[in-house]
Structures are given as structure tokens and as C-alpha cells.
């Protein structure tokens, strides 16, 4: 869980530093070019200097938002997507096991009680489990409280 938080902070600070550097560079360039334009216009009366055409990739790679979006995409594909898939798979497997509960299955509830299934009431959503074989102690629990099903 801490891994995705660390990745998020690293991507945030990287993008923030790139944005800050781009802002500082653009401010420096605008004041320098403004001084040059004023000096060249006053002295020689020449036309404004034209910039060289920028290629598509130079424009895309110079924008810090693209870097941030790429880092978030890598983070999502590398960290969040696999964990979501494994969680969904585990939930689906547990739901299948709980729906197919039958007599004499060993179960463990979410609050740590171990027992053996005695009967199931699917319409009520409950399961009766036997806690102790000697005293024949039984407990009725909801199906959704069962966390582990041990098949024999």
C-alpha cells in the first residue's frame, strides 16, 4: 500500500520541479528577448527575429503535463491495475466457495471462529456451524462473515 503512495509523491515532485524549471526558463527568455528586440528595433530598424520551427516531438516533450500524464499512466498500469485484478479474482473465488458451502465443510469466520458447517439457509443468508464436537455447541452466522473455506 505504501508503494503507490511513494510513486505518487515522486511523480508529483518530479512534475512540480519540471514545471518550475520551465517557468523560470520562459521568464528568463522573455526578458532577454524583450531587451534584444527593443535594442535591435531602435538601432537598426530590422524586422523581428523569427524563431526556428519547432518539431512536433520537441513541442510534446517540452510540455511538463505530458510527462506527468505519462508517469501517472505507468503508475496505473504497473501498480493499480494488477492489484485490482488480483483483488477481484480473490473476491470472485471466495464468493464461489461461499455459495457452494455444504455440510461438513470446515470454515473460519471473519472474527476468527473455526467450525464445521452443519446446515445452510440460502434464502436467509445464514450458515449454522458446529464449534465443538464434544459439547455440540452451534452458532448461526451470516454467509458474508465467512472468510476461509477449508475443503476436505
Which grid cell is 87? 483483488
Query: Taking the domains of the chain in order of start, what are their residue ranges?
Result: 2-96, 100-150
- pLDDT 10s digits, 86-134: 889 988 988 888 888 889 899 999 999 999 999 998 888 899 999 988 8
Under CATH, which number does the domain 100-150 receive?
2.30.30
Q: Which pLDDT score is estimated for 59?
A: 78
Could you tell me the pLDDT band of residue 140, with boundaries at 50, 70 and 90? Answer: very high
- pLDDT 10s digits, 28-72: 665 554 555 555 554 555 556 677 777 877 877 788 888 888 889
* SS3 per-residue string spanning the chain: CHHHHHHHHHHHHHHHHHHHHHHHHHHHHHHHHHHHHHHHHHHCCCCCCCCCCCCHHHHHHHCHHHHHHHHHHHHHHHHHHHHHHHHHHHHHHHHHHHHCCCCCCEEEECCCCEEEEEEEECCCCEEEEEEECCCCEEEEEEHHHEEEEECC
Q: How many CB atoms lie within 10 A of CB 152?
A: 6
Amino acid at each position: 500500500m505504501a508503494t503507490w503512495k511513494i510513486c505518487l509523491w515522486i511523480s508529483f515532485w518530479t512534475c512540480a520541479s519540471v514545471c518550475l524549471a520551465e517557468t523560470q526558463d520562459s521568464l528568463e527568455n522573455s526578458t532577454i528577448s524583450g531587451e534584444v528586440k527593443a535594442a535591435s528595433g531602435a538601432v537598426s530598424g530590422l524586422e523581428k527575429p523569427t524563431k526556428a520551427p519547432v518539431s512536433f516531438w520537441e513541442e510534446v516533450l517540452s510540455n511538463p503535463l505530458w510527462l506527468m500524464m505519462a508517469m501517472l499512466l505507468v503508475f496505473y498500469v504497473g501498480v493499480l491495475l494488477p492489484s485490482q485484478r488480483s483483488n477481484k479474482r480473490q473476491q470472485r473465488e471466495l464468493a464461489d466457495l461461499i455459495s457452494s458451502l455444504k455440510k461438513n465443510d470446515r470454515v473460519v469466520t471473519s472474527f476468527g471462529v473455526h467450525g464445521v458447517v452443519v446446515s445452510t439457509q440460502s434464502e436467509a443468508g445464514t450458515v449454522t456451524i458446529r464449534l465443538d464436537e464434544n459439547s455440540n455447541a452451534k452458532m448461526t452466522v451470516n454467509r458474508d462473515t465467512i472468510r476461509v473455506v477449508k475443503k476436505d
